[in-house]
Amino acid sequence: MKPGSGWRLLAPALLLLLIAFVVPVGMMVPTSLRPYVPLVGITGGFTARHYTRLVTDSYYLEIIGRTLALGLTVTCATLVIGYPVAFFLARTRSRGRNWLTILVVFPLMLNLVVRTFGWIALLAQNGLVNQALQALGVVDGPVKLLFNFAGLLIGLTHIFLPFMVLVLIGAIQNIPRDVEDAARVLGASWGSAFLRVTLPLSAPGILSGSILVFVLTISALVTPRLLGGPTYQVMSTLIYDEFLSRLNWPAGSAQSLLLTAMVLALVYLSGRLARRAGARA
Amino acid sequence: MTAARVRAWLLRGWVALVMGFLMLPVVVIALASFSRTSYLTVPPRGLTLRWFAAVLGDPEYVHAIVFSVVLALVATIGSLGAGVAASFALLRRRVAGGAGVAALLNAPLVFPGVVVGVALLQFYAMVHLNGTLAGLALAHMVITVPYVVRAVTASLQGIDPELEHAARVLGASGPVAFFTVTLPLIRPGVAAGALFSFIVSFDNVPVSIFLLGAGQTTLPVKIFTAIEYGVDPSIAAVSTMLIVLTGVGLAVAERWIGFHRFV
């Protein structure tokens, strides 16, 4: 085997990464420090103004807070809804298992715009959800479910639930069934065997699934844009408007780098947490 | 025993409910696409196929479909080449700092899609790649290569490297051994990687939307902008087509390569 042949095989992928990812993202750093004058454009000199505004202006703080709140609630919702499903799929021996898994994967493979479009039809003023709620007598008039927190929460929970389920299936499958049986034999009730054995042993899966869903939620563009419209903004839709409508690329670059920093910090922290948990085990 | 029975049924009931929740928007769109009304309504009033005819008769939709397929094919072929080579190098050749390289290859999936999109928007404006198929394909390949690497690596881990060594000992050159021994063995992984790559490219909005030139559009971006203008049953019809294609594709992939193992 010739030395260096590994690097030659890696060259196409690394070259691609360099010209279509590393350099373009790196170039956002100088752009984010340029002054921007409305109607004139990007001017010379340097300023940190785009960053200071992000952490002092209440308009931006509200959007950042909303983005994080969505990330947190969507993560909790997918975890609570998805854990029992993952538990069932990981433990069942029925022949339908693979097809049920495929049913979880199907929405994941289906176009994101299409899935979100379904929720527009469901959540609109005269949509199916409002019709059902009124028919059941739960509410008197139509409830506002689009262009607000509730709509984004429902839509994003649906979009990211399959990710959580798939990660949890993997984690629960790794727990030997015997340890649970052992706890039961030693006298633990089903509830305490689950809470004190199964749940703690699936903690690594819960951690990585939660980080994944949180990161995907705060990064999402299509669903928040379509269900939130141009008025109910999150960070990614703010960046979208900054670049395509307001043409304030320096501010958009600063927002992009802040969002990226948040994502990377989370991924890094979860990696450290997982390693510490692994070292203790 | 009865308590265990009740728990088992409760769990099954919950699973059924969640599956229903996952399928709900899919069913709603499919139903709405057959409605005779010119606004979106569920359950549909009357039955008609005219919204499907409207989509297939609309040159804008047809162009968008053709452009999306071409772009996804180019991105898939490109990412298969780069991705298979990279996974082979990372797993079979001891590359110093291989773990770092693997993490770097995955980075475009960790970064928010919108950030990759706007970064390329600015960069392409400088190097005059905006609105070109090559620019779009490169951008898509950056996010499809990691999927190829993951699927191919999973397949490659399952086969014995000694098989390729045996071919080498028997006189095959490196490339001949790879193409006649290793590649046929990792075909399921390559197929899964190709499928992922095609779907990810075909579905992409957050990167494409910033890079499309005037008069250019991909199908999901076309649907995205159509929804922003106003909702009508032709959007439901084109969505239904995608639902059917995705369902058939997934069922075929499951039969052929046991697709769920690669997810």
Residue-wise pLDDT tens digits, B9-45: 999 999 999 999 999 999 999 988 888 877 777 777 7
Give the per-residue pLDDT at A3.
Answer: 53
As a whole number, mean pLDDT of residues A24-29 equals: 96
Inter-chain touch A10–B90, beta carbons under 8 Å: yes
Give Cα separations from B60 to A30, A164, A279, B206, B217 (angstroms): 38, 37, 57, 20, 9
Cβ <8 Å between B42 and A161: no
Contact yes or no for A204/A255 (Cβ under 8 A): no
Asked whether the bond before B59 is cis by omega within 30 degrees of 0, the reply is no
Averaged pLDDT score across all residues of chain A: 91
pLDDT digits (tens, 9 = 90+) for A107-116: 988 999 999 9
User: Residue ranges of the domains in chain B?
Assistant: 52-262
B134 touches chain A (CB under 8 A): no
Asked if the model's pLDDT at residue A2 lies above 60, the reply is: no
Residue A28 has pLDDT above 80, yes or no: yes
Please indicate whether, in this complex, the C-beta atoms of B24 and A113 are within 8 angstroms of each other.
Answer: no
Tell me which residues of chain B have a pLDDT lower than 70: 1, 263
Q: Give the pLDDT band of residue A188 (cuts 50, 70, 90).
A: confident
What pLDDT was estimated at residue B209?
Answer: 96
Backbone angles phi, psi at B117, to 5 degrees: -60, -50
Nearest C-alpha of chain A: how many angstroms from B79?
8
Is B42 strand, coil or helix? coil
DSSP string, A106-124: HHHHS-HHHHHHHHHHHHS
Using CA coordinates, name the residue in chain B closest to A257.
B115
d(CA B209, CA B220): 9
What is the structure's pLDDT at B99?
85
Predicted local distance difference test score (pLDDT) of residue B215? 85
pLDDT at A259 over 90: yes
Locus of tokens 């490297």: B161
| pLDDT tens per residue across span A33-72 | 999 988 888 888 899 999 999 999 999 999 999 999 999 9
For residue A178, is pLDDT > 60?
yes
A1 pLDDT higher than 60 = no
Contact residues on chain B for A19, CB-CB shorter than 8 A: 138
Tell me which chain B residues have a C-beta less than 8 angstroms from the C-beta of A218.
112
Residue A33 forms contact with B (CB below 8 Å)? no
CB of A28 within 8 Å of any CB in chain B?
yes
Copy the structure tokens of residue B101: 């390289």
Q: B52-262 falls under which CATH superfamily? A: MetI-like (1.10.3720.10)
pLDDT score of A72:
98
